[in-house]
């Protein structure tokens, strides 16, 4: 990978790491920072087989720091009001293991981190649902938040407004799964499973997922609710209620959200010009190969957007990202609202 000019103003590329191998692949492919979580409910991707123990975090930090990159730890679920000690211990562990910043959503976690580890940088998680300058400024002034990650429901003009009206850095999602809700405010999974993703750390808890094969195909149920039925040879995605297919008005289709990925390559120069501090790639639950190949595309694109040369989305970038998009589809999401 070619050396990058640190004086050239381009957004930081923040990439997911659900495993140590994914972290290493992200760093090698050009990520400026990686984000990870612990093997517990303190992070919002609390899947079995994912995430890091202390030894893996320590090795990941060593690997990243040796190459001049950062490690951000996601402690982005809400602490249990009956016992916040697991989240407090996670803050202590992050500081001891050398994390460069915490991605946090709960004010109790923020307050603890600021009181006990004032040197540790705090980033406001998308799970905090901050969509206004006043909200972000509250977290910045009260808890010392340095950066805010925006929910994927804002238009480009709204992003520009926030950048101009808050002292915090602004980070936006650039590629990956979409959420039709304002992150942090969804109650769909809670309704059918009895478990909140803000506390349990996952939209569809594995304990609530059931697959059954019948004469009509393979049924996917979440909390006992039938949310999709697949033909025997049809690819099956992990069942989430918002992306289920339901019969509405006599037609069976995606009633809430289609499986499609956010892809902001087409407006990357506008995002850079707006002054965003970082572009985030979604996907800690995805494979190390996904991380490596998506990171490489975005590294090339961000470097090109900041080079001063004429911008164009390269066909190879689009083709590569299409391979990793949900349902082989991508969209600008809320950024593209021609009716406004």
One digit per residue, the tens of pLDDT, for the chain of length 340 reads 334 444 447 999 999 999 999 999 999 999 999 999 999 989 988 888 899 999 999 999 999 999 999 999 999 999 998 999 999 999 999 999 999 999 999 999 999 999 999 999 999 999 999 999 999 999 999 999 999 999 988 889 999 999 999 999 999 999 988 776 667 677 788 888 888 777 766 778 888 899 998 888 899 998 888 989 998 888 777 788 888 888 888 888 888 777 778 899 999 999 999 999 999 999 999 999 999 999 999 999 999 998 888 889 999 999 999 998 876 677 877 777 654 5
Of 90, 110, 98, 37, the C-alpha closest to 69 is: 98
Please state, in angstroms and rounded to a whole number, the distance separating the CA atoms of residues 209 and 293: 30
Architecture (CATH level 2) of domain 12-178+260-335: Alpha-Beta Barrel (3.20)
Please state, in angstroms and rounded to a whole number, the distance separating the CA atoms of residues 226 and 211: 10
Please state, in angstroms and rounded to a whole number, the distance separating the CA atoms of residues 13 and 32: 5
Write down the domain spans for the chain.
12-178+260-335, 188-254
Question: Assign residue 200 a region: left if phi > 0, alpha if psi is -120 to 50, beta otherwise?
Answer: alpha
pTM listed for this prediction: 0.89
SS3 225: strand
């Amino acid at each position: 990978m070619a050396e990058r000019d640190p004086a050239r103003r381009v957004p930081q590329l923040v990439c997911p790491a659900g495993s140590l191998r994914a972290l290493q692949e992200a760093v090698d492919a050009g990520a400026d920072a990686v984000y990870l979580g612990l093997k517990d409910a303190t992070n919002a991707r609390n899947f079995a087989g994912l995430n890091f123990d202390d030894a893996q975090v320590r090795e990941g930090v060593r690997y990243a720091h040796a190459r001049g990159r950062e490690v951000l730890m996601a402690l982005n679920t809400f602490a249990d009001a009956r016992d916040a000690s697991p989240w407090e211990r996670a803050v202590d562990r992050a500081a001891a293991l050398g994390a460069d910043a915490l991605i946090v959503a709960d004010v109790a976690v923020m307050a603890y981190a600021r009181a006990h580890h004032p040197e540790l940088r705090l980033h406001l998680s998308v799970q905090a649902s901050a969509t206004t300058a006043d909200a972000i400024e509250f977290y910045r002034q009260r808890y010392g938040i340095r950066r805010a990650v925006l929910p994927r429901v804002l238009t480009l003009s709204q992003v520009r407004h926030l950048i101009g009206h808050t002292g915090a850095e602004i980070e936006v999602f650039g590629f990956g799964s979409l959420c039709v809700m304002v992150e942090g405010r969804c109650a769909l999974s809670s309704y059918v499973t009895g478990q909140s993703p803000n506390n349990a750390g996952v939209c569809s808890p594995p304990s609530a997922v059931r697959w059954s094969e019948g004469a009509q195909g393979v049924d996917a149920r979440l909390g006992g609710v039938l949310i999709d039925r697949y033909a025997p040879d049809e690819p099956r995605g992990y069942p989430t209620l918002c992306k289920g297919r339901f019969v509405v008005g006599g037609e069976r289709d995606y009633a809430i959200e289609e499986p499609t990925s956010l892809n902001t390559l087409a407006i990357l120069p506008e995002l850079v010009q707006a002054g965003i501090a970082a572009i985030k790639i979604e996907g800690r639950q995805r494979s190390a190969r996904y991380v490596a190949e998506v990171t490489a595309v975005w590294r090339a694109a961000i470097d090109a957007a900041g080079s001063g040369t004429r911008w164009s989305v390269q066909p190879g970038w689009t083709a590569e990202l299409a391979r990793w998009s949900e349902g082989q589809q991508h969209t600008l999401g809320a950024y593209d609202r021609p009716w406004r």
